[in-house]
Amino acid sequence: MDRELIANLEEKAKKIRRHIVRMIGEAGSGHPGGSLSSADIVTALYFNEMRIDPQFPQWPGRDRFVLSKGHAAPLLYAALAERGYFPADDLMTLRKMGSPLQGHPAMQKLQGVEMSTGSLGQGLSAANGMALAGKLNNMDYHVYVLLGDGEIQEGQVWEAAMAASHYKLDNVTVFLDHNKLQIDGFTRKVMSPEPLEEKWTSFGWNVQVIDGHNIEQILRALKQSYAGNGKPNIIIAETVKGKGVSFMEGEVDWHGSAPKPDQVEKALQELA
Amino acid sequence: MADKISTREAYGKALVELGKENKDVVVLDADLSKSTKTVNFSREFPERFFDMGIAEQNMMGTAAGLAAAGKIPFASTFAVFATGRTYDQVRNSIAYPALNVAVAASHAGITVGEDGASHQALEDIALMRVLPNMTVFVPADGPQTEAAVRAAVEINGPVYIRLGRPKIPVLYGDNFEFIPGKAVKAREGKDVTIIACGLMVSYALEAADQLEKEEGVSAAVLDMHTIKPLDAASIVEAARETGAVVTAEEHSIIGGLGSAVAETLGETLPVPMMRVGMPDLFGESGKPDELIENYGMSASNINAVVKEVLTRKK
């Protein structure tokens, strides 16, 4: 694989992580843990994989990304800004009155947001609808979804998993951010969603398991997910919550709390 | 005897017509297509019909995604599931992003009958009208249902269409106007106005005829087919002209048409007013007519309430 491409994406992911830390620090609230854990995945999508055009955000043939775990909004905003949907300076308005950068993504407020999310468990259903429309319209766009591993405790996810398989939505690819933590603690302890591979396989999906922080593995898994064998695709990404900031990594308390100014500084040094 | 057709039947027919005219119209159902009458569309346009199985939450979310990609989805199931079971999906995936989804919910109200309280949606109007961006239609007969279904395609944003199970009289002929948000004066009158929606418009007209014959009371009937946006101007005008108002709906007296009218009059032109509707109770099994009578929503019940409100009129 192209070493330069991978190095560039790794650098971009680092920049996005810096945005995330700064934005949440400035906002004084937000969800750094799960934004940082999915940063490499979303970077690979927005800066290599997806056919999108920030100049024509509503282009009907575009690929779509649905951030089902809507609390990772800072990650989506950072990617959109870096991709040119809006100026990066606007990232500092996150969660402030009047800003299009709502605490959870709102498609009516910000170009590039494909679906309003935040109430967990709903994104895959919407993605399925987009994928069905693509098939009806004979358009070959692909729909990507980011699900959280705590989020899949929601029953609607499994309704949608069943439907994607039933309607042969091979134009859907889900990334499951398997960071193993949710607000109340270890996902396995709160309400175990395991075994993940077996569950998704039995629901009729193509399943891959990768290191969710390894860009090369992410890109390779994406390539494999275009097999078009009539099955939807899920890439279970083994990740670390808070990845990239030493004091946040694997710490459940960083699910939903903002870093203080000195912590922002420390994090930015680590992400330099 | 007037022709009778259920509003769900009219919906099923209208969908097929729409399907022929507009290839972006798609229909979703949750294993109730024979009851909601989306089955007609499914036979005509199988590639644009999606049975989502007994999974209403996913159905609403999928409809949202279809709409986000430019389709015009109609999502149908019983009203009790379409509003209660999927409230968060309708709120967050459809209403908040203002997507063009029509939630067409059948078997609303107590006239579901024998299935009992678990299936009798008596709070759906309240739940839907409180959502920003949502338009709420409660058609009074077959032709008006067809017009409402057509209007839903034109409206930019989500629409809730409340449909019923029983056959009800056809009130409107071939030439009638349906303007969303504009009430229809179904009967002229000068002593009191009965503001009704859905099948209660038929009962209100029946009550008004009785009142005329038996009591010499002249009752106007206002068909409030759109609960949201509410035609406040017509309500105030009715209150000014007749000086007393009775609302009639096949819905809880809390939160529905009666509440909407009371809110309007309370802030503009308070006049003696009373609400006919389901008391703050769950229903039960029974024949639709029995239930309507027993829970106080029949023509004779409206009649009695009108007489009571008239005693308060100065």
Q: CA gyration radius for chain B?
A: 19
Q: Cis peptide before A261, with omega less than 30 degrees from 0? A: no
CATH of B4-169, one of 3.40.1010.20, 3.40.50.970, 2.60.120.260, 3.40.50.300: 3.40.50.970
Mean pLDDT of B275-284: 98
| Nearest Cα to Cα of residue A64 among A34, A109, A107 | A107
Residue among A115, A137, A156 minimizing CB distance to B68: A115
The pLDDT assigned to A227 comes to 84
Sign of CA dihedral B104, B105, B109, B114: positive
Chain B segment 214-253 residues within 8 A of A by beta carbon are: none
- Locate the chain B residue with the closest alpha carbon to A62: B69
Write the pLDDT tens digit of every residue in B190-210: 999 999 999 999 999 999 999
Does residue B98 sit at the A interface (CB-CB below 8 Å)? yes
- Locate the chain A residue with the closest alpha carbon to B64: A126
Write the pLDDT tens digit of every residue in B123-161: 999 999 999 999 999 999 999 999 999 999 999 999 999
Cα A254 from Cα A242, distance rounded (Å) = 7
User: Left (φ > 0), alpha (ψ -120 to 50) or beta: where does B203 sit?
Assistant: alpha
Write the pLDDT tens digit of every residue in B111-122: 999 999 999 999
Write the pLDDT tens digit of every residue in B297-306: 999 999 999 9
Min distance B187 CA to chain A CA atoms (Å)? 42
- Locate the chain A residue with the closest alpha carbon to B90: A122
Domains B4-169 and B184-312 share a fold: yes
Cα A140 from Cα A137, distance rounded (Å) = 9
pLDDT at A84 > cutoff 60 = yes
Computed over every residue of chain A, the mean pLDDT equals 97
- Residue A269: count other Cβ atoms within 10 Å of its Cβ: 9
The pLDDT assigned to B173 comes to 85
The pLDDT assigned to B314 comes to 75
Q: pLDDT-derived band of residue A173, with 50, 70 and 90 as boundaries?
A: very high
The DSSP bridge partners found for residue A67 are A146
A contact test, residue of B62, B66, B71, B89 with most A CBs within 10 A: B62
Pairing label, strands B49-51, B25-29: parallel
Active-site positions of B read 56
Share of chain B above pLDDT 70, in %: 99
Q: Where are the domains of chain B?
A: 4-169, 184-312
pLDDT at A228 > cutoff 90 = no
Interface residues of A toward B, Cβ cutoff 8 Å, are 60, 64, 106-108, 114-119, 122-134, 136-137, 155-156, 159-160, 162-163, 166-167
Cα A134 from Cα A128, distance rounded (Å) = 10
The pLDDT assigned to B193 comes to 98
Residue among B48, B65, B70 minimizing CB distance to A128: B65
| Cβ contact A136–B63 (<8 Å) | no
Q: What is this model's ipTM? A: 0.97
Q: Which amino acid is at B83?
A: T
pLDDT at B1 > cutoff 70 = no
CA distances from residue B290 to A39, A201, B107, B287 in whole angstroms, order as listed:
61, 52, 17, 5
Write the pLDDT tens digit of every residue in B7-48: 999 999 999 999 999 999 999 999 999 999 999 999 999 999
Task: Please enumerate in sequence order all residues whose Cβ is within 8 A of that of B300, keeping only pairs 6 or more positions apart, or say none.
Answer: B207, B210, B293
For residue A70, which residues of chain B lie inside 8 Å, CB to CB? none
Cα B249 from Cα B256, distance rounded (Å) = 8
| Nearest Cα to Cα of residue A122 among A101, A152, A150, A142 | A152
Residue among A116, A119, A132 minimizing CB distance to B88: A119
Q: Which two tokens stand for residue A1?
A: 């694989």
Mean pLDDT of B164-189: 95
pLDDT at A1 > cutoff 80 = no
User: Left (φ > 0), alpha (ψ -120 to 50) or beta: where does B274 sit?
Assistant: beta
The pLDDT assigned to B130 comes to 98
pLDDT at A43 > cutoff 70 = yes
Which phi and psi (to 5°) does residue A8 adopt?
A: -65, -45
Domain A3-270 annotated CATH 3.40.50.970: yes
Is A65 within 8 Å of A45 (Cβ atoms)? Answer: yes
Does residue B46 sit at the A interface (CB-CB below 8 Å)? no
Residue among B71, B97, B98 minimizing CB distance to A133: B71
| Cβ contact A115–B65 (<8 Å) | yes
B contact test, residue of A58, A122, A138, A139 with most B CBs within 10 A: A122
Does residue B36 sit at the A interface (CB-CB below 8 Å)? no
The pLDDT assigned to B2 comes to 67
Min distance B22 CA to chain A CA atoms (Å)? 14
The pLDDT assigned to B175 comes to 84
| Nearest Cα to Cα of residue B109 among B85, B132, B131, B83 | B83
CATH of B184-312, one of 3.60.20.10, 3.40.50.920, 3.40.50.720, 3.40.50.300: 3.40.50.920
